Amino acid sequence: MRSFFRHIPNLLSLLRLTLALLLPFSPERCWFWIVLGGGGSDFLDGWIARRWKMETWQGGLLDAVADKVFVLSALLTFVAAGIFSPWWIPAVVARDLTVAAIAAYAAWSGAWASFRKMNSRLSGKAATGGQFLLLMLASLGGAGIQAVLLLAILLSFVAAADYGRQFAAALQAGPADAPRGRMEDGL
């Protein structure tokens, strides 16, 4: 039975990926519940993995990818519905673009060990929370969205700078064994 439970965090991340694929094809009246399910699965997978010490780097990577795919799917869905301007997307996902650029550079330059040394950060968790808050408000119709949009953008830029500094420090420290912990929703 224990072997089944160790897969729950990854199953929750896969659920978030499934919700990301369903969202663009769902009626607007379902959007709030899908976004709530995406945010809930994001919280639960990390909490369960930490609580029962089932953290893995691969599970953390799946969690981070599921977060990015879900947020991008929701943003594009809301752009298509006229709730968001497409010009908001790069600012809202600045942290995600930064981490993707860091990963591409690490893979291209042979600095993957330095990338793997990066851990989730409070700034990354806050940026993800800001994104999900923005998506929940947008799924409800978008009233008062400007203030939450500015908050999500600010948190995204702070996290982008934080991850950039963390990667630069990891590069300076040189290659070492990669951590065994779960890279959570912070990346």
Domain boundaries, the chain: 2-173
Angle (deg, nearest 10), helices 8-22 and 28-51: 160
Domain 2-173 fold is: Four Helix Bundle (Hemerythrin (Met), subunit A) (1.20.120)
When the pLDDT of each residue in the chain is averaged and rounded to a whole number, the result is: 89
> CA nearest 159: which of 133, 123, 131?
123
Using CA of residue 71, residue 72, residue 77, residue 80, what is the dihedral sign?
positive
- Whether 164 and 98 have beta carbons less than 8 Å apart is answered as yes
The average pLDDT across 5-9 equals 85
Q: Give tens-digit pLDDT for 34-61.
A: 999 999 999 999 899 888 888 888 888 8
Q: Which residue has 């990301």 as its token pair?
A: 20
Whether the pTM exceeds 0.75: the reply is yes
Task: Report pLDDT digits (tens) over 96-108.
Answer: 999 999 999 999 9
Whether 32 shows a pLDDT value over 90: the answer reads: yes
Q: Which helix (H) or strand (E) holds 154?
A: helix 145-173
Q: Which stretches within 54-121 are classed as H helix?
A: 57-80, 89-92, 94-109, 112-116
Residue 27: is its pLDDT beyond 70? yes
Nearest CA among 67, 88, 61, 66 for reference residue 76: 88
Q: What is the distance between the alpha carbons of residues 97 and 160, in angstroms, rounded to a whole number?
A: 8
Cα distances (Å, whole numbers) of residue 52 to 58, 97, 154: 16, 31, 33
Query: Considering the chain, what percentage of its residues have pLDDT values greater than 70?
Result: 91
Q: Give yes or no for residue 3 having a pLDDT over 90.
A: no
The mean per-residue pLDDT over the stretch 159-177 comes to: 86
